Structure 1
């Protein structure tokens, strides 16, 4: 994208956004698969409450989510203080904290997409594998996951896209520090607050559209290929 005339600071924001979105997606994916499978295949008291808690970040103002993360994972927060004292890990006002905020915001979208994919699988297929002697874990790995792969891919892309565009929770939790926590949305916001910043905001907006569109196209191609492979012959 050299024709856009991106500055070094803008390239830094782009690379940081991709790193944060990628880490947020990779870290939250295993947990999202387990939670989605649990909600799709089990019945228990309080399931509606658990489902509501999982999707709560979608309906809360992002600033509220960021503030909760700051209270819990800040240096004086119960979790943040323990992480710093035990592992020397500081999340507040760090890019790793931005990844945590993005993971929290994208997690509900990922869970929902994967859950719908699992619920669309005929339970008799899993039961048949179980009657042949396969353990629940083996059935999950060899039957459920392959059949749910299109939904898993869709959920991962949704989480990545959400993380790429997240602003409210991240700026509340980790602020807007150039080179450390200033992602594409934060950089665009900064440009809109300074005279003559419209050109920079426009350049980064174009980059965000290109990345998001490319992720969606790649997701559609991968989902179709995995769906075709999962079809019984």
Structure 2
């Protein structure tokens, strides 16, 4: 009851009579569009960076591998606000890399939509890496060895043999990554701010609406709840035993 009752409370208090009108309000639509866009881009970044990293951790031996794996999982336990501060200290105008990026390429990440993507990818990528690494460890490496003996390069073996084998794990990791990015709050508001239409995602809009319009906050929360239930349904085979 402790876990389920708050969800029923959200449904009970929802403004069902005005829900269609609420969902079409410009502020809600803007936050929804931005959230979907940034979560999708963050997932794409995580796939590009996370899948090779997972393969490296699962298939190769190198000094410090356990330490690297521990570093990858740090964002899972790190308070998101701390992650936002860390990103700001690295990519801010006076950060370790931010000043150089701004002076050399004219790129500034803080308080921009790109900053939202960076913050979401930072906190969400470990979910993808862990899922893909687990899938790689469960896949039979002998298929890759057989492909190599037949003349396939390592890249060809990965693309034609390994990737199809671990596709369900990659898909599950991508879904988890996308869901985590969609719900990210602390790192986003710290690193990218809360600017409507530019960095205000749905969680940030909920936070702001709580002070101004409770019904709008409830509507946004309902949208996130529906997405969460959809994610749970899509991954039920991984989380719920038959």
Same topology, TM > 0.5: yes
Distance in structure 1 (CA, Å) of the matches to 2:46 and 2:105: 20
**Does residue 21 of structure 1 match 2:32?**
no
Q: CA deviation at 1:218?
A: 5.5
**8 Å CA contact 2:147, 2:157 repeated in 1:** yes
Is residue 3 of structure 1 aligned with residue 25 of structure 2? no
Q: 1:89 to 1:219 in 2, by over 3 A?
A: farther
Alignment match, 1:200: 216
Can you list the C-alpha shifts for 1:109-167, whole angstroms capped at 9, x where unaligned? 00000011111111111111111111111111111111011011111111100000000
Query: 5+ residue gaps in structure 2?
Result: 1-17
What RMSD, in angstroms, separates the aligned Cα atoms of the two structures? 1.9
- Equivalence map 1:78-157=2 (5 Å): 78-157=96-175
Once the two structures are TM-superposed, the CA of residue 214 in structure 1 deviates from its matched residue by: 3.7
Any conservation in 1 of the 2:148–2:157 contact (CA below 8 Å)? yes
Query: For the Cα contact (< 8 Å) 1:83–1:89, is it kept in 2?
Result: yes
Q: Structure 2 CA distance, aligned partners of 1:117 and 1:127?
A: 17
Structure 1, unaligned runs of 5 or more: 224-233
Residue pair 1:153, 1:219 contacting (<8 A) in 2 also: no
Cα offset for 1:212? 3.5
Which runs of structure 2 are paired with 1:209-228 in the superposition (5 Å)? 209-215=225-231, 217=233
TM-score with structure 2 length normalisation? Answer: 0.86
* Partners of 2:192 and 2:199 within 8 A in 1: yes
Partner of 2:54: 36
**Contact 2:205–2:217 (Cα < 8 Å) also in 1:** yes
The secondary structure found in structure 1 opposite 2:121 is helix
The answer (yes or no) to whether the contact 2:194–2:204 under 8 Å persists in 1 is yes
How far apart in 2 are the matches of 1:114 and 1:29?
A: 10
Aligned residues: 220
Tell me: CA distance 1:108–1:67, structure 2 relative to 1, closer, same or farther (3 Å).
Answer: same
1:180 partner SS: coil
